[in-house]
């Protein structure tokens, strides 16, 4: 039987880190306790090569351990696989103790289990993909087995539940599949589902474009906690309930009969039953080519659909029947919209980006530039330039006037952290565990300060110190010119003691929100705690951790995820007021203070943006965009508030009245970043890998 063979380590890991994670070039050696085959044990294996697939184990410190262990022992006895794949949500919160519990689920089993991350493995995890890699393996990789190729993908968004296939990984996948060729049978695994009516991974169309020419046999998914089977552009897709809920699958690769057979076990039907059989041979050459042209239209102008397409939808909306060959663009905002077509639920599918223009639109494109990765950080305008960081670890400086690239630097991990200029040095954190000091003139690395975890937070500057927090439970005070550590503050120990949001400063103090439910005020010069305040009586999930604090006029404001916006005296920490939203909830978007007003996005289906008074927190207006707002913090300039919806829309709102004055649709990709404004220009970038300057009059 062929040995599993690793063909790619994840970007950003050194050889030492790879070896620490239990991986060596060419051999899968995942850091999982497994028992070598006993003499004669191979004779117990099925004659047909077999592997097992399950997902959503959700092992916590105590829950789901016994249930998952019992099912794993059943898999060993009934399926007798050569290998297994766990499709993500391996643990519940990404904590060390949970991985210890998960070790006992796998201990002593005679087959290797490969893993991909799910949103639960990263959403509340201070160490995120770092501890995932150390405990169960690289977040994405591929290997060969029994004449087949396996591509295991990371569909997670850091510190979030959303799904996305980062461009750096898709470029790797494209090279990986090109190497194995178009006839080799391929199995694809992704935690977030693809190809269903509800879009879960924003750029599933980009993944489909990469895999379309290849002989993909089954797309293995999770996340939805349902036992489902469906077709996506002809590809067979499957999902299980969680392993702890009693579901798993068996896959036989029968080279002799030339087919792959998929079986499922559920609580309702505990005997494995055949779900589907597909040919090992490729049949992708039989597809027809669809075209939609041109790719740019005036709003309201019709476009013509290919004759074989029977349904269409715009962006992630509902599928509708094509009643004539003419499809309208009425009601679409200016920008780039994704037109998806399909020949029924199980037939051919294709997507086309369509640019829609509208005369008299509020926003006009000043310039647009393609990036090498998505963006979920806060953009910065300074020194006549736009600074931003991206999910492939890149940091950019572009000329604000025309978007010309001035320089591009690269860190060793993704950048959730936003760039900040502190005393002439650009400071930014990276998931590689370093804080970087870059020369803002040319992007040269001046220094790298090591930490013990991914650096999610963004720096603030006061009293000659740049302070930044991250996933290791520490806040670092760093001298910006040298990178020398001036002081270090340790959050009280605990699984939820970490920082992901930007810091705030008022010249004397730093303010940090943490997942341990508290807001902290530290002395800028010494790093000593001046005060801390509890911001929720509920669980850590309602901490003041996502929307960062804002400070002005001796007041510091911070939202907590339980629908509370707090205002404290900046010097003493005494509570001044607390507001709750009557509609969509406070918590994810950070507050923006402008004069005597506070602007903030709210989480909910209405996509509300609120304006409250700084003095007492009284609501002044609420604007409903109709599209969910998540992490995006508003920017304000020239009487206009701008903020992004997860769906990719940038909104313009009148700061005085709350009237929505315009919107612009970015190309496909989550809008989790925060725009910057300068005069009558808005600068924004999204998970679409595009950055734009939009002007308004």
Other CB atoms within 10 A of residue 97 CB = 13
**Residue 272 and residue 311 share a domain:** no
**162 in a domain, yes or no?**
yes
Q: 86 in helix, strand or coil? A: strand
**Residue 264 and residue 230 share a domain:** yes
Domain boundary among 286, 308, 341: 286
Predicted local distance difference test score (pLDDT) of residue 444: 99
**167 in a domain, yes or no?**
yes
**Residue 351 and residue 270 share a domain:** no
Predicted local distance difference test score (pLDDT) of residue 43: 52
Section 330-354 average pLDDT = 94
Measured over the CA atoms of residue 399, residue 400, residue 401 and residue 402, the dihedral's sign is positive
Query: In this structure, what token pair is assigned to residue 207?
Result: 């993944």
**185 in a domain, yes or no?**
yes
Find tokens 């510091």 and name the residue: 556
Predicted local distance difference test score (pLDDT) of residue 285: 60
Section 244-265 average pLDDT = 98
Q: 305 in helix, strand or coil? A: coil
**Residue 279 and residue 320 share a domain:** no
Predicted local distance difference test score (pLDDT) of residue 44: 63
**Residue 221 and residue 314 share a domain:** no
Angle subtended by helix axes 96-106 and 65-74, to nearest 10: 30
**Residue 121 and residue 82 share a domain:** yes
**Residue 262 and residue 303 share a domain:** no
Residue 447, phi-psi category: left (phi > 0), alpha (psi -120 to 50), beta (remainder): beta
- Cα–Cα distance for residue pair 683/570, rounded to 1 Å: 30
Domain boundary among 249, 264, 286: 286
- Cα–Cα distance for residue pair 31/153, rounded to 1 Å: 19
- Cα–Cα distance for residue pair 597/393, rounded to 1 Å: 35
Model confidence at 10, pLDDT cuts 50, 70, 90, reads very low
Higher pLDDT, 206 or 328: 206
- Cα–Cα distance for residue pair 690/679, rounded to 1 Å: 21
Predicted local distance difference test score (pLDDT) of residue 181: 97
Cβ-count burial of 31 within 10 angstroms (0-12 exposed, 13-18 middle, 19+ buried)?
A: middle
**Residue 347 and residue 266 share a domain:** no
Q: What is the DSSP letter of 157?
A: -
**648 in a domain, yes or no?**
no
Strands 248-254 and 235-239: unpaired
- Cα–Cα distance for residue pair 307/642, rounded to 1 Å: 41
Instruction: Give every strand in the sheet of 148-152, ordered side by side.
Output: 5-6, 141-145, 148-152, 186-189, 216-221, 235-239, 228-232
What is the longest distance spanned by two Cα atoms in the chain? 79
- 30 has a pLDDT exceeding 70: no
Query: In this structure, what token pair is assigned to residue 144?
Result: 């060969």
Query: What mean pLDDT value characterizes the chain?
Result: 93
Cα→Cα distances 307→29, 160, 181, 322, Å: 51, 40, 31, 10
| Nearest partner of 466 among 422, 410, 414, judged by Cα | 422
- Cα–Cα distance for residue pair 272/68, rounded to 1 Å: 17
Question: Which of 219-223, 345-349, 435-439, 441-445 has the least mean pLDDT?
Answer: 345-349
**144 in a domain, yes or no?**
yes
Higher pLDDT, 467 or 290: 467
**pLDDT 10s digits, 617-627:** 999 999 999 99
**472 in a domain, yes or no?**
no
Alpha helices in 475-568 (DSSP H): none
Section 446-467 average pLDDT = 99
**Residue 248 and residue 346 share a domain:** no
Model confidence at 460, pLDDT cuts 50, 70, 90, reads very high
- Cα–Cα distance for residue pair 516/557, rounded to 1 Å: 17
Predicted local distance difference test score (pLDDT) of residue 697: 86
Instruction: Give every strand in the sheet of 619-624, ordered side by side.
Output: 592-594, 597-601, 608-613, 619-624
**pLDDT 10s digits, 132-187:** 999 999 999 999 999 999 999 999 999 999 999 999 999 999 999 999 999 999 99
Domain boundary among 357, 379, 410: 357
**463 in a domain, yes or no?**
no
Q: Which residues share a beta bridge with 523?
A: 509
SS (H, E, C) 612-648: EECCCCCEEEEEECCCCCCCCCCEEECCEEEEECCCC
Predicted local distance difference test score (pLDDT) of residue 40: 47
Find tokens 């029947």 and name the residue: 321
- Cα–Cα distance for residue pair 339/319, rounded to 1 Å: 11
**Residue 252 and residue 140 share a domain:** yes
**Residue 136 and residue 184 share a domain:** yes
CATH number of the domain to which 51 belongs: 3.60.21.10
| Nearest partner of 628 among 111, 119, 202, judged by Cα | 202
Q: Which domain holds residue 318?
A: 296-357
Model confidence at 38, pLDDT cuts 50, 70, 90, reads very low
- 3 has a pLDDT exceeding 90: no
Angle subtended by helix axes 204-211 and 167-180, to nearest 10: 20
Percent of the chain scored above 90 by pLDDT? 90
**Residue 308 and residue 231 share a domain:** no
- 512 has a pLDDT exceeding 70: yes
Other CB atoms within 10 A of residue 56 CB = 26
- Cα–Cα distance for residue pair 590/608, rounded to 1 Å: 13
Other CB atoms within 10 A of residue 299 CB = 16
- Cα–Cα distance for residue pair 213/208, rounded to 1 Å: 9
**pLDDT 10s digits, 56-72:** 999 999 999 999 999 99
**What domain count does the chain have?**
2
Query: In this structure, what token pair is assigned to residue 464?
Result: 């000659």
Q: Are 687 and 164 in contact (CB under 8 A)?
A: yes
**667 in a domain, yes or no?**
no
Section 336-354 average pLDDT = 94
């Amino acid at each position: 039987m062929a040995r599993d063979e690793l063909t790619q380590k994840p970007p950003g890991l050194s050889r030492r880190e790879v070896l620490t994670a239990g991986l060596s070039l060419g051999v899968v050696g995942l850091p999982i306790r497994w028992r070598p085959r006993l003499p004669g044990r191979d004779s117990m294996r099925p004659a047909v090569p077999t592997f097992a697939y399950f997902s959503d184990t959700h092992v916590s410190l105590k829950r789901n351990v016994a249930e998952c262990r019992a099912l794993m022992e059943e898999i060993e006895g009934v399926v007798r696989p050569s290998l297994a794949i766990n499709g993500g949500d391996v643990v519940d919160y990404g904590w060390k103790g949970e991985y210890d519990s998960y070790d006992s689920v796998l201990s002593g089993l005679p087959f290797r289990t490969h893993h991909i991350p799910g949103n639960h493995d990263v959403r509340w995890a201070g160490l995120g993909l770092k501890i995932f890699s150390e405990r169960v393996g690289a977040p994405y990789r591929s290997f060969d087995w029994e004449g087949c190729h396996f591509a295991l993908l990371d569909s997670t968004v850091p510190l979030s539940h959303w799904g996305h296939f980062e461009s750096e990984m898709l470029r790797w996948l494209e090279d990986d599949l090109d190497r194995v060729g178009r006839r080799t049978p391929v199995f694809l695994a992704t935690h977030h589902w693809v190809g269903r009516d509800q879009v879960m991974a924003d750029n599933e169309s980009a993944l489909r474009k990469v895999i379309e020419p290849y002989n993909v046999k089954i797309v293995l998914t999770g996340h939805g906690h349902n036992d489902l089977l469906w077709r996506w552009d002809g590809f067979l897709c499957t999902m299980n309930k969680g392993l702890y809920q009693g579901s798993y699958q068996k896959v036989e690769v029968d080279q002799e009969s030339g087919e792959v057979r998929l079986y499922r076990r559920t609580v309702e039907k505990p005997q494995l039953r055949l779900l589907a059989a597909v040919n090992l041979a490729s049949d992708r050459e039989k597809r027809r080519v669809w075209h939609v042209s041109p790719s740019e239209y005036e709003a309201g102008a019709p476009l013509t659909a290919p004759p074989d397409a029977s349904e269409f939808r715009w962006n992630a909306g509902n599928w509708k029947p094509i009643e004539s060959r003419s499809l309208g663009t009425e009601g679409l905002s200016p920008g780039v919209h994704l037109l998806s077509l399909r020949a029924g639920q199980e037939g051919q599918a294709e997507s086309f980006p369509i640019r829609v223009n509208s005369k008299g639109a509020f926003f006009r494109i000043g310039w647009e530039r393609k990036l090498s990765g998505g963006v979920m950080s806060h953009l910065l305008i300074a020194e006549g330039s736009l600074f931003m960081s991206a999910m492939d670890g890149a940091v950019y400086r572009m000329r604000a006037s025309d978007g010309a690239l001035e320089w591009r630097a690269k860190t060793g991990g993704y950048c959730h952290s936003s760039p900040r200029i502190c005393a002439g040095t650009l400071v930014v954190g990276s998931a590689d565990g370093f804080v970087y000091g870059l020369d803002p003139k040319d992007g040269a690395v001046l220094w790298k300060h090591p930490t013990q975890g991914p650096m999610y937070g963004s720096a603030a500057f006061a009293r000659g110190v740049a302070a930044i927090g991250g996933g290791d439970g520490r806040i670092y005070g760093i001298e910006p010119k040298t990178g020398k550590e001036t002081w270090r503050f340790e959050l009280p120990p605990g699984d939820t003691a970490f920082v992901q949001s930007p810091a705030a400063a008022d010249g004397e103090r730093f303010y940090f929100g943490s997942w341990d439910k508290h807001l902290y005020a530290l002395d800028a010069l010494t790093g000593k705690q001046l005060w801390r305040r509890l911001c929720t009586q509920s669980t850590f999930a309602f901490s003041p951790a996502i929307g960062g604090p804002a400070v002005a006029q001796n007041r510091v404001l911070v939202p907590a995820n339980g629908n509370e916006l707090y205002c404290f005296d900046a010097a003493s920490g005494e509570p001044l007021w607390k507001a709750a939203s009557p509609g969509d909830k406070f918590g994810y978007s950070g507050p923006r203070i402008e004069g005597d007003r506070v602007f903030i996005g709210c989480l909910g289906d209405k996509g509300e943006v609120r304006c409250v008074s700084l003095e007492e927190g009284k609501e002044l207006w609420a604007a409903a965009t109709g599209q969910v707002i998540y992490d995006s913090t508003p920017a304000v300039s020239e009487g206009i508030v701008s903020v992004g919806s997860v769906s990719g829309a940038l909104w313009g709102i009148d700061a005085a009245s709350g009237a929505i004055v315009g919107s612009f649709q970015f190309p496909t990709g989550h809008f989790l970043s925060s725009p910057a404004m300068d005069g009558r220009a808005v600068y924004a970038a999204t998970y679409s890998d595009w950055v734009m300057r939009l002007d308004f009059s």
